[in-house]
Amino acid sequence: MVKRLSYVLGLKCRECGREYEKAPIYVCEYCFGPLEVAYDYQAIRESISRGAIASRPPSIWRYREFLPIDGDPTDGLYSGCTPLVRADRLAEALGMKELYVKDDSVCHPTFSFKDRVVAIALSKAKEFGFDTVGCASTGNLGNAVAAHAAHAGLKGYIFIPSDLEIGKVVGSLIYAPNLVAVEGNYDEVNRLCSEVAYHYNWAFVNINIRPYYAEGSKTYGFEIAEQLGWRYPKHVVVPSASGSLITKIQKGFEELHQVGLMDAPPKTKLYSAQGKGCAPIVTAIKDNTDVIRPVKPVTIAKSLAIGNPADGYYAARVALKSGGYGEEATNEEIIEGIKLLAHTEGIFTETAGGVTMAVAKKLIEQGYIPKDEATVICITGNGLKTHEAVLPNIGQPKEIEPTLASFEKIIMGKQ
């Protein structure tokens, strides 16, 4: 087998196809289209096998050939390879036969799928020689950047909307980054960051490092296929904010076929899940168009509250082209979704996961997802980060005196 470190040919514009050398750039100078990493798939094909992957440690780096770094990975060595839970109790509740939860609420080290992308971004940022990293974040990304930067010894600047949940604020502050709370919504934070990025030579993971960073999301798809015994599921329900994850899961599935790890191309239908009040991608899917109309977000799913989704166009197209669909969840449905997953599978997810759960339930009820076909629900973050969303809806502990009599009276209802 041929062994080499990098299979990256360079960057290529997704819109006009212009090619660029590897650099911390993210947008086509000519048409403003997003740049994407181009790989030498023939070389990957010659170097990789299912056996080789199986022999490697359980992290995102077991798919090293598909990831855009040149040297050895330095970050996120324990990120990824999260459980694909066979969710039989949830399946029963929804009348499904074969249902799985891909559970990134336990991703190392910050309990969301953002550990995957940040692992790539920071490894790459160091290769480019940056000593400072930054991001615009709805919370999870900030947590991941702060933690990985601490581990890597990099300086970090994290920009968040000032109304974030306390769990997500604490989840960044503990790593002592420069945490900047901006008065505004995520789209405004992101816009500010794009201007800061022009003035400071930092590695902004979701801006100038974005082509590399975003590739980390493919590992979520690789793991689903590998954990199903090298099989594609029939349906995958994916939460969408910027629209990146759904497109990268699809890309990951396709790459597996492209390099011969899968015999046939994927026929998986992909579904986009958004919160009602911030569903520009779902709206486009329902209108059968790829024109994204931005919105001003109003939803408790703050981690999905991106009204102007950069990859929205691609996300809508992936869902439509795959034969999938999209649906939105109200705040009440989000809470019910969180509780349903907790009560049936013992998994506590954040509001974004509640969106995905609620949308999966709707799509099954509406018949978009047939009850006898293998379906994966993408749970991407941890409920302890957004506990205030469910706090009023889960009851209170019952207080008793430290006596058996008190226990029997109050808890067991004996007089």
Partner 1 sequence: MPVKVRIPTPLQNLVGNQSDVSCEASNVGELINNLDASYPGIKARICDEGGSIRRFVNIYKNGEDIRFADGEQTSLGDGDEVSIIPAIAGGY
Stretch that binds partner 1, among 2-10, 224-232, 299-307, 390-398 (CB under 8 A): 299-307
Beta bridge partners of 311: none
Contact status: 32 vs partner 1 (CB under 8 A)? yes
CB-wise, 81 or 197, nearer to partner 1? 197
Stretch that binds partner 1, among 126-134, 232-240, 333-341, 362-370 (CB under 8 A): 232-240
Cβ-proximal residues to 116 (8 Å cutoff; 6+ apart), any chain: 60, 76, 79, 80, 104, 107, 216, 217, 219, 220
Stretch that binds partner 1, among 4-12, 162-170, 309-317, 386-394 (CB under 8 A): 309-317
CB-wise, 16 or 404, nearer to partner 1? 16
How many residues are listed for the chain in this entry? 415
With CB under 8 A as the contact rule, the residue among 39, 61, 100, 186 that binds partner 1 is 186
Taking alpha carbons only, the member of 402, 75, 64, 12 closest to residue 211 is: 12
Taking alpha carbons only, the member of 36, 128, 143 closest to residue 79 is: 143
Sign of the Cα pseudo-torsion (45, 47, 51, 52, in order): negative
Binding mask 67-106 for partner 1 (x = CB under 8 A): ----------------------------------------
With CB under 8 A as the contact rule, the residue among 143, 244, 299, 386 that binds partner 1 is 244
Contact status: 293 vs partner 1 (CB under 8 A)? yes
CB-wise, 241 or 363, nearer to partner 1? 241
327 backbone dihedrals φ, ψ, rounded to 5°: -155, 160
Cα Rg of the chain, angstroms: 21
With CB under 8 A as the contact rule, the residue among 31, 174, 298, 410 that binds partner 1 is 31
Taking alpha carbons only, the member of 199, 69, 177 closest to residue 125 is: 69
Contact status: 207 vs partner 1 (CB under 8 A)? yes
Sign of the Cα pseudo-torsion (145, 146, 152, 155, in order): positive
Contact status: 138 vs partner 1 (CB under 8 A)? yes
Per-residue b or e along 169-180, where b marks 16 or more CB atoms closer than 10 Å to that residue's CB: bebbeebebebb
CB of 231 to partner 1, least distance (A): 24
CB-wise, 31 or 411, nearer to partner 1? 31
Cβ-proximal residues to 312 (8 Å cutoff; 6+ apart), any chain: 240, 242, 243, 280, 281, 284, 292
- Contact residues toward partner 1 (CB under 8 A) are 15, 26-34, 113, 135-138, 141, 186-188, 190-191, 193-195, 198, 206-207, 210, 214, 238-245, 293-294, 296, 303-304, 306, 308-311, 313, 352, 380
